[in-house]
Amino acid sequence: MNYNKKTVSDADLGGRKVLLRCDFNVPQDKETGAITSDKRIVASLPTIRYLLDHGAAVIACSHLGKPKGVRKESLSLASVAARLSELLGMDVGFARDTVGEDARTKAAALQPGQLLLLENLRFDPREEKNDPEFARELASMADLFVSDAFGTVHRAHASTAGVAAYLPAYAGLLVEQELSVMGGALDDPKRPFVAILGGAKVSDKIGVINNLLEKADTIIIGGGMAYTFLKAMGCEIGASLLEEDRLDYAREMLQKAKAQNVRLLLPVDTEVGDSFAVDCVHKTVDVREIPAGWMGLDIGPATVALFTEAIRGAGTVVWNGPMGVFEFPAFAVGTEAVAKALAESGAVTIVGGGDSAAAVEKLGYAQRMTHISTGGGASLEFLEGKELPGVACLLDR
């Protein structure tokens, strides 16, 4: 896939109306609806400011939650418009619909240097269906399209890909950074290139492992997915997480790693619990000695040392997925150790969104990482080498 796309710096913005796709899918308090973290709004500010400073009138749009094509006041973007106003120190207009009379009237009246936010795109059932007519109606309000919601570029929706059929399409600063850093890591990494994969399931990372075996020097596998690999190697894994239907795939990947001369590291010891509970009885055992009925819930100290040593010598590290059940304090040690090793490595460090990003933020290592991806699902598909519809539709350089 071509990552070398035209960006806002290539666009003639003066006096133009820009349809800007943002990711304002912010977490909210279930009781009050109040925004509990504005990180995604803050992440959009550099692109918004760039567009406004260069004389554009900006029509921002986003989804929030999963309203499934039905208007739900609890998922209105009105609160996001209010927060944007505070962060930018300016009045932000808000349209009570997406392509209806209110949106069209306010978009038509918008002047250079002004910002309008449309209502939740997913209130219209046509958005997720990538309906051409809905895309055309969105596009009709603007002169060009800017994509700055990396967390949605793996979706072929009307506002992420469809509008590019009707408007010249550019990458925003956030998407530009994702393409530059992650694309560089895959295409021309500083070596040795170490990929760390964790999380619960092998099935979530099948394409990622397969693709990285063509690119990485070392692949580290932890988390629940490691036990399927260990079982494939003949270890008894007790009650640990197992995807029986992925055992052949795990064996195939082990053989491919050997054939490609890629070092594939698996846990050598594990922290096991007698149940899946925060207060379970737990102990450290060799991976070949997991007792019947017990389950592996984190990597053990010998594995921490093994993985840390591999990270220490890396030139580039990409990390996606925790090493254990890190929401349980007793089983957060492995994930914390990996985060610390990345922070101290001196390598180009890329954290692939989701739980890994949350762990790095929680532990206070975020500022010491080269890049933390803003899109969990999108970053996974990026690592898998898939074509991302919301990137493929942008103009090539």
Distance CA 397, CA 2 (A): 9
Return the DSSP state at 7. Answer: B
- Tokens 């040593």 locate to 309
Is 313 labeled as catalytic in the residue annotation?
A: no
- Other CB atoms closer than 10 Å to residue 363's CB: what's the count? 15
Query: Choosing from 256, 377, 385, 386, which is the catalytic residue?
Result: 377
Cβ contact 335:368 at 8 Å: no
Is 376 labeled as catalytic in the residue annotation?
A: no
Count of helix runs (H) and strand runs (E) in the chain: 13, 15
Distance CA 29, CA 32 (A): 6
- Tokens 């560089």 locate to 184
- The residue count of the chain comes to 397
Q: Identify which of 69, 177, 189 has the alpha carbon closest to the alpha carbon of residue 129.
A: 69
Query: Choosing from 162, 334, 354, 376, which is the catalytic residue?
Result: 354
Work out the angle between the directed axes of helices 173-187 and 376-384 (0-180°, nearest 10).
Answer: 30
Is 201 labeled as catalytic in the residue annotation?
A: yes
Tokens of 346: 């001196």
Return the DSSP state at 112. Answer: T
Distance CA 374, CA 371 (A): 9
| DSSP H helical ranges for the chain | 39-53, 78-88, 101-109, 132-139, 173-187, 206-212, 226-232, 247-260, 301-312, 333-343, 354-363, 376-384, 389-392
Query: Choosing from 201, 256, 263, 340, which is the catalytic residue?
Result: 201
Ramachandran angles phi, psi of 116, nearest 5°: -125, 135
Is 215 labeled as catalytic in the residue annotation?
A: no
Query: Choosing from 17, 40, 122, 155, which is the catalytic residue?
Result: 40
Cβ contact 144:19 at 8 Å: yes
* Alpha-carbon torsion angle 385, 387, 391, 392, nearest 10: 140
Active site positions, annotated: 40, 201, 354, 377
